[in-house]
Structures are given as structure tokens and as C-alpha cells.
Amino acid sequence: MIREKSHAAVVRAKELMPGGVNSAARAFGAVGGEPIVIDRAEGAYLFDLDGNQYLDYIGSWGPMILGHRHPRVVAALTAAIERGTSYGAPTLAENELAELLIDAVASVEKVRLVNSGSEATMTAIRLARGYTGRDLIVKFAGNYHGHVDSLLVAAGSAAATLGAPDSQGVTTGAAKDTLIANYNDVGSISAIFAEHEERIAAVIFEPVVGNMGCVIPQHDFLAALRSLTREHGALLICDEVMTGFRVAYGGAQSLWPIDPDLTTLGKIAGGGMPLAALGGRGEIMDHILPAGKVFQAGTLSGNPIATAAGIATLRELQEHPPYERLEQLAARLAAGLQEAATEAGLPHTLARVGSMMTLFFHDQPVTDWDVAAQCDTQRYAQYFWGMMDRNVYLPCSQYEALFVSAAHTEDDIDRTVAAAKQTCQQIAQT
């Protein structure tokens, strides 16, 4: 497949930007080779600079649940741009989006809009410490909560992919108040609370992990998180930046009895624009400035362009719910990918919740980072490029989830499965 223009663009990008990218996950470091450079997108498809067309199962890493350039979203963006791009002052759109978020997520009574998932988790951690008067935060190995210094400890996603779960530049002081537990391990989190008791401000977790691949929570683990935090006066922070509006309109906490104190949202909530939110119980949220004394601010927070995209996306999801169809399409894809790997004799397992999933090249169910780390990442790299050469764009890491959008069709799914069968057979013969 010809990718000459992409190559030239990547060469130039490396002269202008570190590694030629503005987010490490885009660099193809886990699969080798060069990233392709995108020119445009439409529906379920991406088009690179050389005119190659790809079935897109990344969806901008999750936000594009309606597909690219959905007419309702485009119309909302166009109308918003005609009124102005940023005011640095309150707008009615902020009220409208806040109401949508509060109505959608049962545990959320008030929200603060920010610009990224990292900002949302950073604010959640600061708020938890300010509210409780405590310092310690517990996170789980393989869970990724953005590039916040205190949370870049045993991170997943690009950090795990690059073999650097602890980033240079994160000081000992920044990391010393972060404790690491094992995901889905009740004994691990119980032991931390037994040792540190009333010093823990909060536990932050992904309700369905997406950054060591798709990993599904166990019911006893979720129950332990809630009971232990309540018993010891710590807050429970549910990071739904990826799962919010993806696995269900009300997020993962509408599928499992989680009932967190604080929730972070992003990606779909912003309709593909830079927007995220922190939400939770009103009593806790009112500790944020100017109602309280926990500082948070942002020039572009809740800007009219991002709120327009978020409102249009959530209204579309409300009025024309795609979730039943997404479930059918995703189940069809999951079965096909498993069949392809099985027929080729490739050890694998697949995890899926709704329209997000990961095919792991490992023969045991992936429940935590220790198991995920045993996956055959070299085989995944072969798989990735085999699918790419057959015009299917998958996540460029074994440790990322793929996403099905409402723009995908049954024919798209069947073409993807056919490509997977050819790719798996090719791998088996090497």
C-alpha cells in the first residue's frame, strides 16, 4: 500500500515535534513502523494523505460513537462558530450540557467543565484531598487517568506500551502519596486500607479498563471499593472518561452498582472536541472555587464550540439511542475476530463490554496488569499491520480498546472479519 505522502509528513513532523506527534499513543511505538497521517474522515472511515481508505475502529480513541462528521454535530458546530469561538464568560450552553450530564449519570449532582480527561482527574484528586484533608491516593496498576504527575505511577496506555510506567520528570514527592493496588484484587485493596486506614483521601479507578486493553471488573471487587472507602471515610472516584456514554448512556455505573462520590467524564461528552467534566455529590463539588477553597480554573473551560458538540452528541444519543444496534454489531465483530484467531490456531482471549473490546494475544482471561503484561505484543504488531494493509485501522497497541460506532454497518463488520481471517492465517504461516 502506498503511503509516500504520510511518510514525508512524518519525517517533517519529527523535525517540528518530539517524536513527530502530539500524543505518545499516536507514534506507533508498540507496533513499529510509521504512523499514517490522516487527511479527513467520514462516517466509519478515515482517509490518509495518500487517499487510502480505512475502516476506523479507534474513533479518535473513543469519542466518535456516532461516527465522523455526524450531520447533527456538524450543524451544531457551524452554528456555534458563527456566534463566536470563545468568550471567557458564562453561556447558556454550559447550563444545558451540565443538565444533560447530571440527568445521565445518577451519582452526579453538580459538574465542573474542563478541557481534557487529565484536567478532570487532576481536579478530582485535588478536590478529594481538599474535602477530606488527607493526602494519600490509591490507584490500580494498568489504569490510566491522564498525564497527571501523581497518577503517572504504574500507568496503562502509552506509558505501559513504552515500558515506562513511571515517567521521567515525575518527582519522588509527587508520586510518594500515590499507592498502587492490583485491579480486581480485593485482598490487595483491603491490605492497603488496613495499613493506611484513615490517611487515604480517595481511590480512583476505571470501571471498565480501557488502557491495558479492555478489562472487565469483577462484582466483588467493585463492592469492596465502595464498602472500604465508606468505612474509612475516603472518596471513590470513578473515571468514566472512556466508558461514559460508551458502554451505556449512563456509563458503567448504570450497569454495575458502583455509586461513586466523584465521576470524571470526557471523550463522548465533548462530541470529539476538547471537553471533559468532573461531577459528583453537591456537598463535595461545592468545595471547588468559587463556592469553596479548592482551586480550579481554565480559560477555555466550557467554551461554546466544545459544548455545542457535546450537547448535539448527547441529544442524538438520547433521541435516537444506538446502544442496541451497537451491541449487535460489536457482538458480531467479537465473534468474528475470535473465530479468525481460533481457525488460525493463535492463542487469544477477547474481552468486551458493549461497543468496546480488545482481542488479547494471550490464552487466559485478562483480569489485571500482571496478566495483560504476558500478552504477545509482537504478534499483536503483526496483526495490526496485517489489518492495516487490508484497510482496517485498529488501535496501535495491544493495550488499547477498539470501538464500534453507530456509523459502522454489518457489511463493515463482515469485511473486518474477512480481513482478520486473512491476517491470522498469514501470521500462523510465519
How far, CA to CA in Å, does 4 sit from each of 1, 35, 51? 9, 12, 11
Q: What are the beta bridge partners of residue 279?
A: 111, 263
* CA-based nearest residue to 418, from 390, 384, 389, 379: 390
In angstroms, how far is CA 265 from the centroid of its own chain? 10
At 121, list the grid cell: 482527574
Q: Any idea how long the chain is?
A: 430
* Phi and psi torsions of 278, nearest 5°: -110, 130
Q: How far apart are CA 383 and CA 408, in angstroms?
A: 21
Q: Is 51 helix (H, G, I), strand (E, B) or coil?
A: coil
In sign, the C-alpha dihedral spanning 77, 267, 256, 223 is: negative
**Known active-site residue 239:** yes
Q: How far apart are CA 153 and CA 19, in angstroms?
A: 22
Q: Is 291 helix (H, G, I), strand (E, B) or coil?
A: coil
- Only one residue has cell 483480569, namely 367
- Say which of 45, 54, 57, 144 is annotated catalytic: 144
CB neighbour burial string for 194-208, b if at least 16 within 10 angstroms, e if fewer: eeeeeebbbbbbbbb
- Say which of 56, 183, 249, 267 is annotated catalytic: 267
End-to-end CA distance of the chain: 20
Q: What is the DSSP letter of 217?
A: P
Q: How far apart are CA 286 and CA 289, in angstroms?
A: 8
* CA-based nearest residue to 127, from 328, 265, 326, 286: 286
- Only one residue has cell 478530582, namely 124
∠ CA 339-342-345 to the nearest 5 degrees? Answer: 155
Based on the number of CB atoms within 10 Å of its own CB, is 405 exposed (0-12), middle (13-18) or buried (19 or more)? buried
* CA-based nearest residue to 105, from 202, 211, 240, 274: 240
- Say which of 56, 239, 368, 412 is annotated catalytic: 239
Q: Which amino acid, one-letter code, is at 382?
A: Q
Q: What is the DSSP letter of 323?
A: H
Helices of type H across 17-90: 71-83
| Active-site residue set | 144, 239, 267
